Chains A and B, each alone.
Chain A
Amino acid sequence: MKRSFPFFLALILIVGFGLGLAYSWLLAPVSYVDAPPSLLGADFKEQYRSVVAAAYAANQDLPRARARLDLLRDADSIKELSAQAQRMLAAGADFEKTRPLAQLAADLRQGYVSEPFTPSPFPTFAPNLSATITPTENSDPFFIEEEATATPFSAATMPFQQTPITPIVESTAATPTLRPTFTPTAGAGAPFVLVSQEAVCDEQPPTMRFTFLNAKKIQVAGVEIVATWNDGEDRFFSGFKPEMGNGYADFQMRANTIYNIRIVNGGTFVADLSAPECSAHGQSYLGSLSLVFQR
């Protein structure tokens, strides 16, 4: 069989293409020295997420944390954060290391900062304070005229109500400037109280389902729960299933077992819990328990 010259020309072209491709892919591939975060290896992506979460825990800048996570091009950033936190817990990592990840996942899901950053219970005024200090006759050198204005605090970050404790007096020259006092509210360390306990008959495997709320009925992530029974103990935290709610946690129950629950933060103790009896279609089965705690 005879071949024409154009055939060999095409063959040589293809052979040359193959040689060039082999060289560029195998012998001297492009080496990325300017990689974007999306090309990081899985382990490095985990470190990247940890650092993003740590930075978020420090600055509470949710849009920025979201933008940083977007650089990783995860299909579902929230899911990846939660999964990473659970993997770390399963590997025995300290909860304090995993908490920023869970918190960031929870806040991304709900779309706002659940625990606004409050560096100090006392207001610290910004350096651009526009107060004008005017000496007066009998003046106290620290007297500040009323038109002094300070950088306002946003409502979202104000952890207390400012309430004057002395009556407002018309005269300003002779009276000291009013100082704010703080109306205490239930803080982060306040104990949780069991406010609701209900049997749930949904024909699902028996679970103890916890929901933790703060004083404003906002779900709270990161609450440590200890469940004990006659031959065992388990510890877990709220917020690791953000798809169920930031303050949600659950625990599989067994039949004929009595459980005692302790909320580590605040020491709340609930004793003698067991899977309730439910019935459907003439058959009985073990239901679940829904427990709601609130500060």
Chain B
Amino acid sequence: MSSVSCSDIFTGGHYNFPMSSFQKVALLFALALGVGLGLTYGWVVSPIEYVDAPLSLLREDYRADYVLMIAEAYNADADSAVAARRIAQLGSQPPAEIAASALVYAQMNGFSSDEQALLQNLFSAMQRYAP
């Protein structure tokens, strides 16, 4: 009867030479390397793309532009309910809070004074708006 060694993890008689410490370390290293490569590929090279993202996941600049579009439409129709409903798609926060965030972003990122005025107007309307 042959002696049992850690090499018996490869059962079935296909592998029958004893493993040295170097080989064990090499196998562990290969496993770690494989996991690392897999993670890198899955997170960086080819991450899962969510193609059905909701509006609430829009990046901050796109959110600000979305709110600006709502402000432009509101400036024409003065319909607070429609504006609030559109803003509500961007998250669960109160519409006034979302409008305020967009206004702050606009002030920090060089939106024109007209655009800031539109956002300010929308923000004021959302503060007054009571559903």
Contact = CB atoms under 8 A, between A and B. Distances in A.
Interface of A: 1-3, 5, 8-10, 12-25, 29-37, 39-42, 44, 47-48, 51-52, 54-55, 57-59, 68, 71
Contact of A13 (B33, B59, B70): B33
19 contacts: A3-B14, A13-B30, A15-B31, A16-B34, A16-B38, A19-B34, A20-B34, A20-B39, A32-B57, A35-B57, A35-B62, A39-B53, A40-B53, A48-B66, A55-B72, A58-B73, A59-B72, A68-B65, A71-B62
Nearest to B114: A59
A269 B68 CA distance: 43
Contacts of B53: 32, 35, 39-41, 44
Given A5-B23, A32-B53, A35-B57, A57 B66 contact: no
B55 A24 contact: no
Q: Is the interface of B mostly helix, strand, loop or mixed?
A: helix
Interface residues of B, number: 49
Contacts of B15: 2-3, 8
Contacts of B68: 55
A279 to B, nearest CB: 53
Interface of B: 10, 14-17, 19, 23, 26-27, 30-43, 47-55, 57-60, 62, 65-66, 68-70, 72-73, 75-77, 86, 89
B50 A35 contact: yes
A37 B53 CA distance: 9
Given A40-B55, A41-B53, A58 B75 contact: yes
Q: Is the interface of A mostly helix, strand, loop or mixed?
A: helix
B62 A36 contact: yes
Nearest to A59: B72
A55 B73 contact: yes
Contacts of B70: 51, 54-55
Contact of A2 (B14, B27, B48, B54): B14
A42 B52 contact: yes
Given A23-B35, A31-B50, 8 more contacts: A2-B16, A3-B10, A18-B38, A23-B42, A33-B57, A36-B58, A40-B54, A57-B73
Contacts of B23: 5
